[in-house]
Structure 1
């Protein structure tokens, strides 16, 4: 993408003008309207319906993404480098991903001084938004693991795409910080945790340094960092993409099957996951193409080892963003599913024995 020169960063939809949209979209904009969409925690998204001057044409609508209006969430996003990473992802990686799951981008910019940023993205409509609390259908899960496999195949075949220094983010957490966050998490949610869930959480927090050492030995690849239903739009038959994945602010290089483990552990209710687990692992394997780098059994074992990310996210994210009723339900729902996944796959002993 080529951004127009000297174009100001838009920090809220009220800052939009016909002239700004004309420069971004390359067509004469005569008017527009907007509506809030999504339930993001650290960013706000709006659908911009665009009207063009006679003789001009462009997309009927685009998505504007900006930093959260909530000061706590906005500070978290800026401090963790989330906004800068997402802008870099759309500027530097997306142009090389072809028909991958990321939406096309018309504009991506950030003001380093204020932390304000904007993304103007392709609108995936018509599409059905994933719902983390309700959980995925089997067909949605098949699409998600298939597109992830194709993305992994593309980036593995072009390793230079993920060699940029900014993708080497490492862990944003250490044992001391996770312990502090877990104390806050328990203050909010202790009464809602079952005995097995508390055992998984306690074990992970206690052995977090060991967990990080285990992850450092894993094969590395491109990681979305939050590959879950709330960040997915499932296209209708006439849509340009079967699946559009958004919220790439956590993108990094890390343990290569983190996203697969995170999705399988958190996206489906436990009974549905158990019934289709083997099928979904094989679906991912098939999407790697005719010469996959891993066998199905290697994929299964890597997913088992990397299954703890959902618990980490549930603990950490729940106490550093604005608290809402939906947020509480979301974090507790996905924590429950991820704990079940860890226990079902026998991953908990890894924190103690490494085996």
Structure 2
């Protein structure tokens, strides 16, 4: 078999390649033809939908599959290599079966080449599920669905020492230091202000400046539980289906998976996923909803008060994701609007939860 995304253009894959794959993984089918079409607007990877025409179709043969492959943007390729995105996403699907395939699409084929930093994922197609919209925000019901998935992910490896055995998993004891040190992230904030300053409110800049000034100390000061975390747990990385679907929600884009603080995913999702008008009305109820799902999964040593303190602490995390990504990936009109919207929402989240008072004192 060729290696799409590594040595072959995935848009040119033919029936024989999928027949070889199906034989290998036990799908009873014979493909006689297919169409391949790029989908989505991914900024780190490119997605392709494959639609099959069968000469023989067994009961487990999929109508369609989706592939994820390296970006065609030189800037995004460089960022993915620097941050280990492609290797990490492939290894996530290979390593964590309590999460991968449970709250994610099922992966049928994974490939990664360390020398070239190219990869391929062939996955279950979640259509007709619809991608969340970071700009529009989500309903409370959709937020509860996402936080239920977060509880599944976090509870599966809550304070699990095995997480520290994976050098490719960011935040583990074996992982190399982050490619972007806190001091470098500070620089990205200054670049972001220069590029977008005329589109930012004074209050947003105030929060960003306060956070940036102590970012190295902030990044080292968390004391609390650790778990498997997504670290980009937001609406654009979620596919929402019908309530009666086998997977009413599928979480995708695991290139940032790590050992991290569970409250980081939660604060990031609530802060960016709900509008500035909706979040203050619902965030405490949503936190209690998530906490109840953790307890149902057997996590009984994490008081709600500790969760809320950690939620406040990580209200700043989404700001660094927003301004960092804006400066590191391919710039697009929608990307600009999305990152600015996220930054404004997280700045308001930090202000309205009195999180500025939690920041370490400047050196």
Structure 1 179/98 Cα, relative in aligned 2: closer, same or farther at 3 Å? closer
Counterpart check, 1:314 vs 2:316:
no
| 2:53 match: secondary structure | strand
Decide whether aligned partners of structure 1 residues 243 and 180 sit closer, same or farther in structure 2, where only a CA change above 3 A counts.
same
Task: Tell me the equivalent position of 2:290.
Answer: 284
* Pair 1:10 & 2:2 matched: no
Classify the secondary structure of the residue corresponding to 1:153: helix
C-alpha separation between the residues in 2 aligned to 1:166 and 1:22? 32
Partner of 1:42: 44
Aligned residues of 2:159 and 2:226 also touching (Cα < 8 A): no
Once the two structures are TM-superposed, the CA of residue 68 in structure 1 deviates from its matched residue by 0.7
1:83 equivalenced with 2:78 (yes/no): no
**Residue number among 194, 199, 202 corresponding to 2:206 in the alignment:** 199
Q: Which residue of 2 aligns with 1:269?
A: 275
Quick check: 1:179 aligned with 2:186? yes
1:123-202 to structure 2, matched below 5 A, reads 123-156=125-158, 160=162, 163-167=165-169, 168=172, 169=175, 171-202=178-209
Q: Which residue of 2 aligns with 1:61?
A: 64
Cα contact 1:147–1:287 (8 A) shared by 2: no
CA 339–56 in structure 1, closer or farther in 2 if over 3 Å, else same: same
| DSSP 3-state at the match of 1:41 | coil
TM-score of the aligned structures, taking structure 1 as reference length: 0.92
Structure 2, gaps ≥5 residues long: 24-28
Q: Shift in Å at residue 65 of structure 1?
A: 0.2
Q: TM-score, normalised by structure 2?
A: 0.90
Contact 1:305 1:347 in 2 (8 A): yes
Return closer, same or farther for 1:197/1:55 CA change in 2, 3 Å cut-off. Answer: closer
Judge which range, 178-187 or 312-321, deviates more.
178-187
Range that drifts further, 344-353 or 129-138: 344-353
How much has 1:218 moved relative to structure 2? 3.2
CA distance in 2, matches of 1:10, 1:83: 11
Alignment match, 1:24: 21
Q: Is the contact made by 2:159 and 2:227 (CA closer than 8 Å) also made in structure 1?
A: no
1:30 to partner: Cα distance: 1.3
Q: Secondary structure at the match of 1:248?
A: coil
